[in-house]
Amino acid sequence: MDSSDRAAQIGEFLASRRARITPDQLGLPVYDAAKRRVPGLRRQEVATLAGLSVDYYTQIERGKVRGVSETVLDAIARALQLDEAERSHLFDLHRAVSTGPQRSRPRRSKTVRPMVQRVCDAMTVPAFVRNARHDLVCGNQLAYAFYSPLYPDPLHPDPSRPVNFVRFCFLDPAAREFYPDWDQMADSAVNLLRTDAGRDPYDRSISDLVGELSTRSEEFRVRWAKHNVRLHYTGTKTFHHPVVGDIQVEYETMPLPADPGLVLTIYSPEPASPSADALTLLASWAATHLGGRDLLEAQDHSTLTE
């Protein structure tokens, strides 16, 4: 995807944010409500709120953003009431268009460092690392047991061949059972993928994944077209595991600064809860059925998919 496509994405993103805000929400007078042809703000209204001429804002929304200053972007972000994730996404897209693929692309880690694997292995709860295209690239034995439904052979998950969380969510029928609130999980998966795609818009592996899912899943395509983004640091998730049933966990996600594009995630249940008992049972099942030694040896050879 070239810079003109990325510039077009800026316009689509701004238009999508503009469409969700009504003049009433901002206290703007509406004199011709019956004649309005847009569901949200008009370009002229955004331009006025941002202190720009309507012609200048229109050019920005059409993707002509080279030379646009951060001050102008800040003004537009305030006018559209962008949250932290949306503002960061706008600046990421602008940076990619302004600097081009060579300067905007961060250096991606090609392998998982042994230290990262040891950190995962030292934990007694599911701990795993994903990359920017949402492949599960390494984890401890309990993490592989937790996500065994994502693998073609759940009893023999192969860490050297990463599975993809978003592909599983939209293309595998088992996802709707594994995720009791599938709609919420699907929204989150798409919003996070678009956020990561905005950080590195020239990543071919992400573009290929988006193309594949857009072709094969109407559910994905509709969500992707909304241009929603989000940050993902902490919260609660509920799963229905085929071996131990319902599990609710709190999660923490931590980007690994030394390994651009990699994110460490840790799941932890409420102590002395049914979910904690379920994870204990799952750990016992993993030790019996997954072959701990073979699995850990395979983890040593894990590589990232670009």
The rounded distance, in Å, linking the Cα atoms of 232 and 1 is 26
- Taking the alpha carbons at both ends of the chain, their separation in whole angstroms is 15
The rounded distance, in Å, linking the Cα atoms of 213 and 41 is 31
Mean pLDDT over the full length of the chain: 87
- Among 161, 122, 121, 17, smallest CA distance to 78 is for 17
Place of tokens 């590589």: 303
The residue extents of the domains of the chain are: 3-104, 114-299
Enter the tokens of residue 260.
Answer: 């651009």
Predicted confidence (pLDDT) per residue in 205-261, tens digit? 999 999 999 999 999 999 999 999 998 899 999 999 999 999 999 999 999 988 988
User: What class has domain 3-104?
Assistant: mainly alpha
Q: What is the pLDDT of residue 116?
A: 94
Q: What is the pLDDT of residue 141?
A: 93
Q: 106 or 160, which is more confident? A: 160
- Band of the pLDDT at 301, cuts 50, 70, 90? very low
Q: What is the mean pLDDT of residues 108-136?
A: 90
Output Rg (C-alpha) for the chain, integer angstroms. 22
Instruction: Supply the pTM of this predicted model.
Output: 0.86
Fold of 114-299: Beta-Lactamase (3.30.450)
The rounded distance, in Å, linking the Cα atoms of 25 and 184 is 26
Q: What is the pLDDT of residue 105?
A: 54
Question: Which helix or strand (DSSP H or E) is residue 16 part of?
Answer: helix 3-19
